[in-house]
Amino acid sequence: MTSQHPSSRTFRGNLILILLGALVASLVVGGVLWARSNTTWIKKQAGGSAWYLTYEGKSVRGEPRAAVRYRHNPDRYKPQQRDEQLGSTRLPWSTKVVVNTGAEARVEVTPAGDGIASCRILLDGVRVVASGKSPGPGRPAVCHVITSKTPEKWPR
């Protein structure tokens, strides 16, 4: 007659397998949690924490030309900012720029004559993070925002 209880040898083998599985699962979960909480720190140490933004300018009324001025970082690994100024520029206009974390992103669109212009700043070319419109004829449309200081976490 055979016993209905597993032998002690089989029981020990199953117990070791269960404990080994739990250890592997713990290591995987711990590694994911560590990576999630330290990714920002690692990126800051590596340098180059910056945002990719798109500046846009459009004519709302009047001649489709404007003087455009915008701020960006020429080198994402250095904190310096540069202001670019374009003379008479055909609207609609857009450019892609890099702006470091915690820095000001800014664009001004001054319409020609008595025109009215608008501007926008887009995050990754999709999400509008700032917009503006000329307060009156010939007055500049100004858009500005301070970028998030935390890489990959733009406030809602």
Ranking 8-12, 43-47, 101-105, 121-125 by mean pLDDT, the lowest is 43-47
pLDDT at 13: 80
Q: Could you give the 3-state DSSP secondary structure of residue 89?
A: strand
89 and 29 in a common domain: no
- Residue 114: give its domain's CATH number: 2.60.40
**What would the mean pLDDT of 78-101 be, rounded to a whole number?**
92
* Residue 97 CB neighbour total at 10 angstroms: 20
Residues 6+ apart with CB under 8 A from 108: 68, 69, 70, 119, 140, 141, 142, 143
Asked if residue 153 belongs to a domain, the reply is: no
* Same domain assignment for residues 85 and 32: no
Q: Which two tokens mark 130?
A: 């700032």
Residue 28 belongs to some domain of the structure:
yes
Please give the pLDDT value at position 45.
54
Does residue 61 share a domain with residue 135?
yes
Whether the Cβ atoms of residue 120 and residue 134 lie closer than 8 Å to each other: no
Q: How many domains does the chain have?
A: 2
Least confident of 20-34, 43-57, 83-97, 111-125: 43-57
- Same domain for 92 and 16: no
In terms of domains, do 78 and 41 share one? no
Same domain, residue pair 17 and 88: no
**pLDDT at residue 109 greater than cutoff 80:** yes
> 32 and 94: one domain?
no
**pLDDT on residue 121:** 97
Q: Is residue 156 part of a domain?
A: no
CA distance 124 to 128: 9
CB under 8 Å to 156, separation ≥6 — which residues? none
Q: Are residues 103 and 84 both part of a single domain?
A: yes
In Å, how far are 70, 75, 77, 115, 139 from 53, measured between CA atoms? 12, 14, 16, 26, 24
pLDDT of residue 4: 57
Do 90 and 132 belong together in one domain? yes
Range of the domain at 58: 50-147
In a domain, 1, yes or no: no
> Residue 111: which of 80, 131, 88 has the closest Cα?
88
Is the domain of 42 the same as that of 56?
no
Quote the pLDDT of residue 77: 77
Q: For 87-101, what is the mean pLDDT? A: 94
- Could you tell me the sign of the dihedral formed by the alpha carbons of 16, 18, 20, 26, in that order? negative
Which of the 8 DSSP states describes residue 113? T
**57 and 20, same domain (yes or no):** no
Q: Are strands 127-133 and 141-146 parallel, antiparallel or unpaired?
A: unpaired
| 154 located within any domain | no
Q: What mean pLDDT comes out for the span 132-140?
A: 95
